[in-house]
Amino acid sequence: MDGEAIEGEGFAITALRSLALEIHERLLRIHGQPEKRRHLDPLSQLVSTILSQNTSDTNRDKAFKRLRKRFAKWEEVLEAELEEIVEAIRPAGLANLKAPRIQEALRTISLKRGELTLDFLASLPLDEARAWLMELKGVGPKTASIVLLFSLDKPAFPVDTHINRVTKRLGLIGEKVTVEKAHELLEQILPEEIYYPFHLNVIAHGREVCKARNPRCEICVLQDICSMAYSK
């Protein structure tokens, strides 16, 4: 890449970061500063995130609680009959898909590490920890980033459907950018110190205001910097 291209890219990142910080400050005024709370351990977070795919938080939590009530240890889940796991996690939906995915992830971790834990990831550099997680079948950038950010306090930025939708409408990422690429781009644009609150507040905004259908642009604090608001 020539010097002019590098300079142009740097200017674009600077402009987008300025926009992101403006969005961040406005959302803080509306949704507040999320308090960092105690999250699940990395292995439990991995299972919970697999359960969360294509379902609501309520259904995910119900399925996770049923799974932990039925099996006290993850080793028991690893050795259980698949049908037992399916029945335990049924409230999360797609149980016939998620049960083998969970069991296979546990099996792979056990084979690679000799024990069922992901705590060792805390000592790895971010890129190595992310790569290790994404070697697990069914674990993509979103699931890996959730484990890294919420359970290991590493600077990874998860992109769910709300964040993907809202950041595209606001012009932080291009309309044709894939969800996978969005993780990389938003990590470049956003300062690491705001990953946690920005993630949670954009999700809250996506659920309450910037909805997939019938977004409530008339009450949105971001309408003057949102291209979609002007197109309505």
Domains and CATH numbers, the chain: 3-32+158-231 (1.10.1670.10), 42-152 (1.10.340.30)
Taking only the tens of pLDDT, the chain with its 232 residues reads 333 333 335 558 899 999 999 999 999 999 999 988 878 999 999 999 999 999 999 999 999 999 999 999 999 999 999 999 999 999 999 999 999 999 999 999 999 999 999 999 999 999 999 999 999 998 999 999 999 999 999 999 999 999 999 999 999 999 999 999 999 999 999 999 999 999 999 999 999 999 999 999 999 999 999 987 655 5
Name all contacts of 148-154 with Cβ < 8 Å and 24+ positions apart.
148/121, 149/195, 149/196, 149/199, 150/39, 150/40, 150/45, 151/39, 151/40, 151/41, 151/42, 151/44, 151/45, 151/118, 152/42, 152/121, 152/122, 154/126, 154/129
In angstroms, rounded to a whole number, what is the distance separating the alpha carbons of residues 118 and 129? 10
The confidence score (pLDDT) of residue 10 equals 59
User: Are the beta carbons of 222 and 170 closer than 8 angstroms?
Assistant: yes
